[in-house]
Structure 1
Amino acid sequence: MLRISDVAYLVRDYDEAIVFFVQTIGFALREDETNAAGRRRVVVGPADGGTGLVLALADDAADTSPVVGNQAGGKVAFFLETDDFTAQHARMTAAGVTFREEPRHEVYGTVAVFEDLYGMPWDLIQPAAQS
């Protein structure tokens, strides 16, 4: 069996990204360790498991790196799935998440595009019920 366990996610600053993903999105901080060489490894992701994000400082993190927030060339690259769209949308909106659109109902489910802390688009999606 194969599965993607984690993916790298470029950030400008570990701590600001932790605050966003944990306090605003609702992820768990799975790992935050610094090794003897001073390299920090930070992993966030859904509390109940699944693919995590390994937060990685962009090479020019001191500047405003053109890749941070543009990791997918302006396209949605991450799809945050929920079984209660209405509750998650309300919670995220109250936490200050910017949604680019009103929720819409598609054949595949209920979806709305939101922005992460760097302006990168994500989908919040509740898949359509399977029959």
Structure 2
Amino acid sequence: MRIYVTSVFVDDQEKALDFYTRVLGFQKRTDIPLGGPRWLTVVSSEEPEGTELLLEPDGHPAVGPYKKALVDDGIPAASFAVDDVAAEHERLTELGVRFTQEPAEMGGVISAVFDDTCGNLIQIVRP
């Protein structure tokens, strides 16, 4: 068994697609219209056949309180591996990304957390 698709709830799929591709560097993989929302996935440009990230609309009534609780508590909705957290932090900061946690070593890993502009906190980590 392996992970095929995982998701992050977004408030605007088009804005999310722009952020996740133009800023983070992912590639659009699937874009299927579903009569409003889309089945819209991105993949790592380093692993184009790897796990897909679904940019899932956050319209379900339970999602808003869930996302707000995570953000209020500083809990990332997803975690992405990078080779160099400090370099990625610098690159993203130069692109205007707002970090809520600067790079820090925690329990044998280095991580940082940023706002994805779509209602989520995202962690980057070097295991």
Instruction: Determine if the TM-score, normalized by the shorter chain, exceeds 0.5.
Output: yes
Instruction: Using structure 1 for the length normalisation, give the TM-score.
Output: 0.76
Task: Report SS of the residue matched to 2:101.
Answer: coil
Distance 1:77 1:40, change over 3 A: closer
| Paired position in structure 2 for 1:17 | 16
- Paired with 1:105 and 1:10, the residues of 2 have a C-alpha distance of 28
Structure 2: distance between partners of 1:28 and 1:82: 16
1:42 match: 40
The answer on whether the counterparts of 2:10 and 2:120 sit within 8 Å (CA) in structure 1 is no
Give, in whole Å, the separation in 2 of the partners of 1:112 and 1:55: 21
Listed as ranges, the matches of 1:83-122 within 5 Å are 83-122=83-122
Shift of 1:17: 0.8
List gaps (5 residues or longer) in structure 2. none
Bigger radius of gyration:
1
Give the Cα separation in 1 of the matches to 2:77 and 2:10: 15
SS for the counterpart of 1:16 is helix
Q: Structure 1: which 5+ residue stretches go unaligned? A: none
- Root mean square deviation of aligned Cα: 2.6
1:95 maps to a residue whose letter is: L
1:81 corresponds to which letter in structure 2? A
Aligned to 1:102, the other structure's residue is in SS state: strand
Q: Is 1:73 aligned to 2:70, yes or no? A: yes
**How many positions carry a matched residue from both structures?**
121
Aligned residues of 2:16 and 2:118 also touching (Cα < 8 A): no
- Is the 1:114–1:122 contact (alpha carbons within 8 Å) kept by the matching residues of 2? yes
CA distance in 1: counterparts of 2:101 and 2:107, whole angstroms: 17
Q: Contact 1:44–1:52 (CA<8 Å) still a contact in 2?
A: yes
1:56-100 Cα shifts (integer Å, max 9, x gaps): 223369xxx7258x1773322311111122221111111111111
Structure 1 vs Structure 2: percent identity of aligned residues?
Answer: 30
Whose helix fraction is larger, Structure 1's or Structure 2's?
2
Alignment-mate amino acid for residue 27 of structure 1: F
The structure with the greater share of residues assigned to strand is 2
The 2-side partners of 1:106 and 1:32 are apart by 37
Note the C-alpha offset of 1:40. Answer: 2.5
Give TM-score scaled by structure 2 length. 0.78
- Output the CA distance in 1 between the equivalents of 2:69 and 2:44: 21
The structure, 1 or 2, with the larger RCO (C-alpha pairs under 8 Å, 6+ apart) is: 2
